[in-house]
Structure 1
Amino acid sequence: MRQPPMNRIAPDAIKAWRITAVIGEAILWLITIALFVLANIYNFSYWFGGAVAILSGVTTLVTVFLLPVLRWRRWRYEVFDQEIYIQHGILIVSQTIVPMIRVQHVDTKQGPILKKYDLASLEISTAATTHEIPALLEENASDLRDRISALARVDEDDV
């Protein structure tokens, strides 16, 4: 069995993922508040709103505080001359090997939350699918994009 890849994504990925989770959870909390308001207006029982509030609290704890740390611990990658080795997952750990000869193009992308922490995601496209290495330092993502592009070009010339 292969050793796990050595390189980790940036530690600030945890902060970026937490902000993204807070935005998603805010929608759930707005629905919870709306249920309480509707229960008050129409004199319904508060038990349904209370159940949704408990569910919202649990999902907030899990998605904001637990999952980003676990995701960061599992995300690893390594770029070799002939392949890219990616490992990710929390309960089910996925180990993917992308041969350089299959790489069609490499992109970096950066949304507003990643930009705040000087992070960027690297997308590696093959004919079958797209693989992503999320939340790399912006300069590392750019260097890695150029390196993979050069290695993919060399492999195509060898074929």
Structure 2
Amino acid sequence: MNDIKLEHKLAADMPKVRIISETIGNIIGFIVLAILLGADVYFEWPVWIGWILYGLIVFTVLGTIWAFIEPKYLYRSWSYQIDEDYLQLTYGVLKREWVTVPMTKIQSVSTSQGPILRKYHLRTIKVETMGSSHEIPALDEPVALEVREKIAISAKLKEVDE
């Protein structure tokens, strides 16, 4: 396994933003399950439906616990590096991923910002190639804009040079 560390990390607020986002999703999930359990009792659905709903509650609780643990480890494992030739990404908690994207293959680069990212002045960069797309989540706004510009310039320069 390659343990080389890339030079750039995500924004320090990334774990907090991820926990908030996951918590909102889990709350919505619990509300939906509570409504379904209420409907199960009210309409007297078959017993197996109740068991499935209780199983889903167990998985949702486990997912909620993981949502508080995973962002801290994901933040520690996420790094990226950009040079004239390649965009390199490495990330993963349980399964470590190492991605190298040649600048000549990049077709578009964009930033996005939802309401939670906006509150913390963060942006996500999305890089598209012909066959895949890659994201660098939760970068500080000035850094994200600079990285987007650097990738756009490097990808364009490589196309012109060839």
> Is structure 2 residue 62 aligned with structure 1 residue 61?
no
Aligned to 1:95: 98
Aligned to 2:28: 27
After TM superposition, the runs of 4+ consecutive aligned structure 1 residues lying more than 4 A away are: 38-45, 47-54
Amino acid at match of 1:124: V
The TM-score normalised by the length of structure 2 is 0.84
Superposition RMSD in Å: 2.2
The TM-score normalised by the length of structure 1 is 0.85
Distance 1:33 1:149, change over 3 A: same
> Is structure 2 residue 118 aligned with structure 1 residue 115?
yes
- What is the count of residue pairs matched by the alignment? 157
Aligned to 1:5: 6
Which consecutive unaligned segments of at least 5 residues does structure 2 have? Answer: none
Identity, % of aligned pairs? Answer: 28
Matched residue SS, 1:104: strand
Distance 1:153 1:56 in 2: 45
Distance 1:67 1:40 in 2: 35
Distance 1:147 1:35 in 2: 49
2:141 aligned to which of 127, 138, 141? 138
Matched residue SS, 2:100: strand
Superposition deviation, residue 51 in structure 1? 5.4
1:149 aligned to which of 147, 152, 155? 152
Superposition deviation, residue 118 in structure 1? 0.3
